[in-house]
Amino acid sequence: MQSVRLLIPTTPDRVFSVLADGWAYASWVVGASHIRDVDEGFPAVGTKIHHSVGGWPAMVKDNSEVLEIEPDRLLVLKVKVWPLFAGIVRVQLEPDGSGTMATISEEFVDGPGKLLPEPLIAPVLNARNRESLKRLAARALNDNRYAAGGSLGQR
């Protein structure tokens, strides 16, 4: 399992507000290009974000399902880009002084991606997840709609 961390100078609840907005997923997850739908009640266990990954003409439609949630602390997703891979992504938030230590951990659990040697895939996953954390931080820090727990995904 690969993990990266970033200290975000805001509160865990503000960072979690971004995580809890399924419609914002493509704005911070590197590789997600379009959100087609978000299940009612997201991010409850079992709910899904229906997304597309990649760009035309190689766009894959799939979903990410919530496996575990602890508000303001943890979100665990089973992410799929089938038939390439399925993986488990853990986003953990811990108060740290005047901010939040955010950690993303990811591992492939199914599909051909699982067969890739860790020394080959680790640099790619780490770079992707470092950029995702930077985007998550930017959303949490710069979008006042999250200051009061609001959602960009309201229709």
The structure's pTM equals 0.87
From 15-19, 28-32, 93-97, the region with the lowest mean pLDDT: 28-32
19, part of any domain = yes
Residue 121 has pLDDT above 60, yes or no: yes
Q: State the CATH number of the domain containing residue 130.
A: 3.30.530.20
How many domains is the chain partitioned into structurally? 1
154, part of any domain = no
pLDDT per residue as tens digits for the range 49-69: 999 987 778 788 889 999 999
pLDDT per residue as tens digits for the range 83-105: 777 889 999 999 998 899 999 99
DSSP state at residue 21 = -
